[in-house]
Amino acid sequence: MNFLDHLSVWLRTSLSKAEVDKIRGYSFNLIENGGEYSVELIGASIYDATDPDWACEEVFEGTPRSISIPEPIHEGSLESCLANMKSYLGDYLSFGDENARMLKQAEGIAVGFVDGDLHTIYKAEQGGAGQPATRSESK
């Protein structure tokens, strides 16, 4: 199973338990631990791109909490892992499957390393439907 398929299964399992009416933002948190990389999904009760701590208001977590990121994606570096995950997740959100549509019900979606900057990869337009973040919105 390739990583996008694994990601999709994980999201389907996780989001089936989410109370989406309580979630305003999702964050894909990247973790590096001794050369191993993983990603976790949290849902927060707020979303505010100007507040670097919005994702601390956690009301949901993925099941299991995290999944491993394979070496061809993280390439053994923080920078490569972040760049590649931004690309993978941006592509995933563009697919428009059921999981992506559920995620995009939130006001915003970000990715970043735990204790690092969050990079917005999706932001809802005022009044509903959203769009992928532009390069200027992704720090």
Residue type present at position 22: K
Residue 105: predicted pLDDT: 95
By the 8 A CB rule, do 107 and 24 touch?
A: yes
pLDDT band per the 50, 70, 90 thresholds, residue 96: confident
pLDDT digits over 124-136, tens only?
Answer: 986 544 445 543 3
Q: What angle do CA 38, 100, 84 make, to 5 degrees?
A: 40
pLDDT digits over 35-51, tens only?
Answer: 999 999 999 999 999 99
Which of 13-17, 50-54, 105-109, 135-139 is predicted least confidently? 135-139
- First CA to last CA distance, the chain: 31
